Amino acid sequence: MGGSPVLDGTLSLDGFNASAMALVKRWKEIEVSDPLPDWTWKPCCKMGVPSEVEGYLALEGVYRSCGESQIEERGNFDDADIVGDDTWVQSSSDNVHVYDFHVVYSFSYKVPVLYFQGHHAGGQLLTLDEVKERLPSHSLKVLSESKWAFITQEEHPHLSRPWFTLHPCGTRDWMKLLLEETEVADKEQSLQYLPAWLSVVGQAAGLKIPLDLHCSS
């Protein structure tokens, strides 16, 4: 029913659901080095009734501390200076941002779409500039050099609130190329779609995806 990743880089709804389940399972199996939370499946709710077929993937509570690099730079100092400096730690709490990532299926483009948002430690939403400021340099490079990667702010399809999103328009084309390069068996291609896709979009959104996710268990 619709979309064949092997032929044209798209994904059917069934394919999305299957790939999502596989990703959730695989994520739990691998050693995730960063203190990253688990991906969960969230069913879509219509009129308060959770759907049995439609849902999206959520990775919530990803902490990004921007004070980390500062700690590394201060490696020259005595450990005592850093450990004993409670006020320094407290004052840098504003450098801790919390991110939520959602992977939603687009019926229009027949591909997954990444939605994300960030909060200050105090709960206030981050602006696009604030998000971009904290992106690692290679993410910014991807965003500026790639014609398909640009972040916009749009209404989340299921949550009625504005979230940031990576526009889906080029996804089909580059996924087709990416899947052609991999030597995964046809049957596996559908299941491997999301991990492969995530490894690419993750780069643009500053989300580090462990390499182990792509290896079969």
Partner 1 sequence: MAAPYDEAAWSEEAARRVWGGAVPLQVHLHDADVTALPPPPPFPTLGPRIGYLPLLIPVIKAHFSNTLPPGVDTVWFEYKGLPLKWYVPIGVLFDLLCADPERPWNLIVHFRGYPSEILSPCEGEDSVKWTYMNSLKEATFIITGNSKSVMNMSQADQIALWESVMKVNLDGYKNVSTRLKLGPFEEDGLVQTPSVERQQSSDEPESPGSGKPCRVPVRLYVRSVQEDLEDIEDAIPLSDWESVSYINRPFEIRKVEGRSYITLEHALQTLLPEFFSSKPAIRADDSQHVEALDSPPDDSDITNSSRSSQEVEQASVSLREADIAKKAKVKLVRVQGIELDMDIPFLWVANNLKNPEYYLHISVYVGKRKQ
Binding site for partner 1 (CB under 8 A): 7-8, 46-49, 51-52, 107-109, 125, 153-155, 157, 160-162, 169
**Residue 121 CB, nearest distance to partner 1 (Å)?**
17
Ramachandran angles phi, psi of 212, nearest 5°: -60, -20
Q: In what order do the strands lie in the sheet with 151-155?
A: 40-46, 49-65, 96-106, 111-120, 162-166, 151-155
Distance CA 120, CA 16 (A): 32
89/125 with CB nearer partner 1: 125
8/100 with CB nearer partner 1: 8
Distance CA 161, CA 173 (A): 29
**Residue 58 CB, nearest distance to partner 1 (Å)?**
17
104/196 with CB nearer partner 1: 104
118/195 with CB nearer partner 1: 118
**Residue 4 CB, nearest distance to partner 1 (Å)?**
9
95/106 with CB nearer partner 1: 106
The Cα-based distances of 112 to 5, 13, 20, 56 in angstroms read 12, 10, 10, 9
- 125-132's contacts with Cβ under 8 Å and 24+ in sequence apart are 126/97, 128/153, 128/164, 130/97, 131/164
**Tokens for 124?**
């206030």
**Tokens for 118?**
């960030």
**Residue 11 CB, nearest distance to partner 1 (Å)?**
14
Active site residues: 169
Amino acid at 168: P
Distance CA 70, CA 106 (A): 40
**Residue 67 CB, nearest distance to partner 1 (Å)?**
26
